Structure 1
Amino acid sequence: MKKLISTVALAAISTTAYANVLMPEISRDGKTRNTSVLAVSQEKRSFIASNYLSQSLETDTVPAVDVDLSQLNMFGAFSANNFSFEGSYQKQDIEIGAADADVKRLDALFGFRVNKSLTLGLGLTENELSTALDDTIIEAGGTLVVNGTTLGASLAHHMLDSGTAEGDYTVLTMAFGKQVKDLSWETGIQYSTKGNDSYTADSRLGVFGNVTKISGNLELDARFKYEYGDYLQSNISDNDYSSLEMSVDAEFLVTPVFYVTPGLEYTMTSLPDYIDADTGILTAKVDLGYRANNLDGTFGLNYATGELEGIDLDGIGFNLNVGYNF
């Protein structure tokens, strides 16, 4: 169990940042991904992009343990008339001392614009959380514009398979938001049902909010997501679970084609004391970018510090991200 928790926690801090759940992306880089079929169903971008990230961490134990992460991500989107599509393939390699693990994910999200006010979306995700656990996700949802405000709801059904056991649960998302040329915001809730069969996680409730604001040579992006509930379907007194994801960054156009983007990210997971696997990672980063003739490329450095299952660690990393907008 602890090895799986470590793998998922480390995968989270090395994952390419996502944009909105409900409202389609408006960032100037043109290659930030959406999270849900709700946003994809309203999307009108067409682009291809690739991202590579490498992160090296070291524990403060004696002897020290090296934690190395690398991620290759290829993704893109296509939009024509009343149809939109966003797809991606992600592969992460995680090495903790002499042990290693692979995390793979394949997404295919489809959107259909019925008319100016109504959209529908359908998505399929194959997520290999570890060599022993696969998560297949089928998502369906839609959006409706009422008096300039976008309302959206979706159901995402997760089917987990460890090879010897199976289980499932469903996530309900409800959100509302608004978007104009230089401002996009959204907020909503997500409810995860109790797990069935061999998946024994209890129900959980989450809230989220995302905002992007563009003003002259400045772009601000902020993300927030909090989830809480019981860890397992159990009557034991110590059974609390919570997770928090926060990020903020600001893009400054230094010249018409060069920009710099400093930012902060924080990821936290709190589990019952008997598991002893709390994780909290704070990452400070800066990206240097070039944007011209529909091409956008960034090179970034970061410093991450925090704890993994109660063990302090820190280290540096770099990323390279290149995209082309059609």
Structure 2
Amino acid sequence: MKKMTGIIAMAVLSSAAFANTIVPETSRDGKTKNSSVIATTGEMRTFVAGEYNSKTTEADTAGAQEVDTTNMNVYGAWSNKMISVEADINMGEDADTDNDSYGVQAAYRINKQFAVGLGYTMMGEDTTPETDMSKLEIAGSYNMNDLVIGASFAITSYEQGTTDGSFNTLTVGVGSNANNMSWEAGLTYDMEEDTDLDVGSKIGLFAGMTKVVNNIELDGDLSYKTGDVTSAGGDYTALGFNFDAEFLVGKMFYITPGLNYSSEDVAGTETNQLDLSADFGYRANKIDATFGIDYAVMAESNNVDFDSMAWKVNVAYNF
């Protein structure tokens, strides 16, 4: 499971920090990805974007070597009154090991209230033996007086050498994009799978909000997951908190300071990290360009401190 978790992290590294799950993204940058097909069922944006990011991590122990991670990501979306499509291609390298992912999410709006969606993602890592993973997600949403009720069912498959299995995830939640404010809340349930993959059941809660107040956009989310590491047990808990505020500087520029805290306990092995970030951007003539930096002011894994720093360049065009 540790290897599979690493692949997932590589695939989403280039995503913006607070991707929506239930309601579609409304951030002013116009380029933040949706993290679930549920949100894509209400997507109304058309844009194309590209990002390059790099991260360096080094443990504070004698003889430790730097671990470099890079990603080149191209993604975008297209929408009309009935159909929405979001696609993503990522080519990455982690500690000299190549990893790639390809994904597409499509949605069809049956009428003003009902919509359905389908998403598929393939991920691969050039290990020995090779690691392959895929995720198939089916979703539906119902819009009731500006309140969105959504649900999805996902099958995640994993294969590496003699290890071959899958597990299922159910996601349900509510949210709204009305009155200049976007919010959502819901839960996830990872179902136990007693195969050679051996996944324990886990329940997760999540909530998020985006609010524009004059020239400031406030954006944050909170998540918590608990359960078993494997079908035989082993406690698992994870907590995540993100918050940032985008300040407009004149008509074309913006600055976005933020913080991100994450904590994970896998059968007694704890990892805690607190990051401070800053984005500097330009937004005019349908173009949004961002340079961002991220620094871990506190990072610890299994009682060993480590240093982590990342930077990114992202450019998008909104049609």
Normalising by the smaller structure, the TM-score range is over 0.9
Listed as ranges, the matches of 1:1-326 within 5 Å are: 4=3, 7=6, 11=10, 14-17=13-16, 18-95=18-95, 100-128=96-124, 131=127, 132-180=130-178, 182-234=180-232, 239-273=234-268, 276=269, 278-304=270-296, 305-326=298-319
CA displacement at 1:197 relative to structure 2: 2.3
Segment drifting more, 36-45 vs 163-172: 163-172
CA 1:20–1:134 in 2, change beyond 3 Å: closer, same or farther? Answer: same
CA 1:134–1:9 in 2, change beyond 3 Å: closer, same or farther? Answer: closer
CA displacement at 1:223 relative to structure 2: 1.4
Q: Give distance in 2, aligned partners of 1:279 and 1:91.
A: 26
The amino acid of 1:165's aligned partner reads: T
Q: Give distance in 2, aligned partners of 1:108 and 1:9.
A: 16
| Cα offsets for 1:203-258 (capped at 9, x unmatched) | 110000111001110001101221110111115xxx10112222111000011100
Q: Give distance in 2, aligned partners of 1:61 and 1:13.
A: 28
The DSSP-based 3-state class of the residue aligned with 1:231 is strand
CA displacement at 1:65 relative to structure 2: 2.2
CA displacement at 1:15 relative to structure 2: 4.0
Q: Give distance in 2, aligned partners of 1:72 and 1:19.
A: 18
| Cα offsets for 1:5-49 (capped at 9, x unmatched) | 784596489442351101001110000000111111110100000
Contact persistence 2:118–2:138 (CA under 8 A): yes
Segment drifting more, 137-146 vs 61-70: 61-70
Q: Give distance in 1, aligned partners of 2:190 and 2:157.
A: 13
CA 1:256–1:8 in 2, change beyond 3 Å: closer, same or farther? Answer: same
Contact persistence 2:168–2:190 (CA under 8 A): yes
Contact persistence 1:295–1:324 (CA under 8 A): yes
CA 1:94–1:187 in 2, change beyond 3 Å: closer, same or farther? Answer: same
CA 1:5–1:208 in 2, change beyond 3 Å: closer, same or farther? Answer: same
RMSD (Å) for aligned C-alpha atoms: 2.0
CA displacement at 1:128 relative to structure 2: 2.3
Contact persistence 1:289–1:297 (CA under 8 A): yes
Query: Which blocks of at least 5 consecutive residues in structure 1 are unaligned?
Result: none
Contact persistence 2:14–2:51 (CA under 8 A): no
The DSSP-based 3-state class of the residue aligned with 1:89 is strand
CA 1:20–1:74 in 2, change beyond 3 Å: closer, same or farther? Answer: same
Q: Give distance in 2, aligned partners of 1:118 and 1:93.
A: 40
The amino acid of 1:242's aligned partner reads: T
- TM-score (norm: length of structure 1): 0.91
CA 1:92–1:267 in 2, change beyond 3 Å: closer, same or farther? Answer: farther
Contact persistence 1:222–1:249 (CA under 8 A): yes
Q: Give distance in 2, aligned partners of 1:254 and 1:7.
A: 37
- TM-score (norm: length of structure 2): 0.93
| Cα offsets for 1:100-126 (capped at 9, x unmatched) | 333322110001111111110001111
Contact persistence 1:85–1:108 (CA under 8 A): yes
Contact persistence 2:21–2:38 (CA under 8 A): yes
The amino acid of 1:16's aligned partner reads: S
CA 1:129–1:280 in 2, change beyond 3 Å: closer, same or farther? Answer: farther
CA displacement at 1:94 relative to structure 2: 1.5
* Percentage of pairs with the same residue: 37
CA displacement at 1:309 relative to structure 2: 4.0
Q: Give distance in 2, aligned partners of 1:263 and 1:312.
A: 22
